[in-house]
Copies of this chain bind each other. A is one copy, B any other.
Amino acid sequence: MHAAADLELVGAVDKDDPLDLLAEAEVVVDFTHPDVVMGNLEWCVSRGIHPVVGTTGFDAERLDRVRELLAAHPGTNALIAPNFGIAAVLMMHFAQQAAKYFESVEIVELHHPGKADAPSGTARRTAELVAEARRKGGVAPSPDATTQEIAGARGADIDGVRVHAVRLAALIAHQEVILGGEGEVLTIRHDTMNRSSFTPGVLLGVRRVRDLPGLTVGLDALLDL
């Protein structure tokens, strides 16, 4: 991130460093741990510093607590996003937009074999968004005549959307949403080739958080979609 000409790096702290090193910052990027992130947010917001947060574990209750913090410090904003990969965020958004125009939809996610959960959080979230868009659009369940199944062949059922998780050496993080209707298929695929894929999304957040009043959840709010 040192390479962004219009931004200046004021400081960087690791887990045992004092936060005071960041006291001069306008924006703080927090990729830490659910156990400490709430304290970090309080520290930032109380000083008028806008936090950009990629740390996981924000449920409705935590988001409400952030909203209260921000309400007490007008003019200070926060961006919290579960995924800073722009391609992944666009994939989810497009899948949601396309969902109601196709009879069938399934998700195939592919990750390195060291991953503990299957399917991935991104795949589960995509399935939920797609399922909701289909419900709102009045789309019937995806047709499926399967009567003889070897257990697991048809994947996990997330809100009626089948999700398949591939684990393969050499892969990093990839996902494909496949939509099929009358004589045509639409595939939206995202490939993470290395961890630097979060950088442009984080930089976009840093540049824009000052102009987004209050709490913003999700990177898609910053993309002109």
Contacts and interface: CB of A to CB of B under 8 A. Distances in A.
Interface in A75-117: 85-88, 90-91, 94, 97-98, 101-106, 108, 110, 113-117
A197 B188 CA distance: 18
A106 B167 contact: yes
Contacts of A94: 90, 94, 97-98, 188
Contacts of A199: 182-183
A153 interface: yes
Q: Give the bracket for the number of chain A residues in contact with chain B.
A: 35 or more
Q: List the number of copies, as a whole number.
A: 4
Contact of A179 (B87, B106, B118, B224): B87
A171 interface: yes
Which secondary structure dominates where chain A touches chain B? Answer: mixed
A190 B188 CA distance: 9
Interface stretch (A12-20, A45-53, A154-162): A154-162
B189 A184 contact: no
A60 interface: no
Contact of A165 (B154, B157, B187): B154
A156 B166 contact: no
A14 B88 CA distance: 41
A152 B156 contact: yes
Interface centre among A105, A170, A179 (most CB of B within 10 A): A170
A166 B186 contact: no
Contacts of A143: 113-114, 167, 169
Contacts of A134: none
Nearest to A133: B224
Question: What 4 A-B pairs come out closest when comparing CB atoms?
Answer: A183-B197, A184-B197, A168-B180, A153-B156
Given A94-B97, A118-B146, 6 more contacts: A108-B108, A118-B150, A151-B152, A162-B166, A182-B196, A186-B188
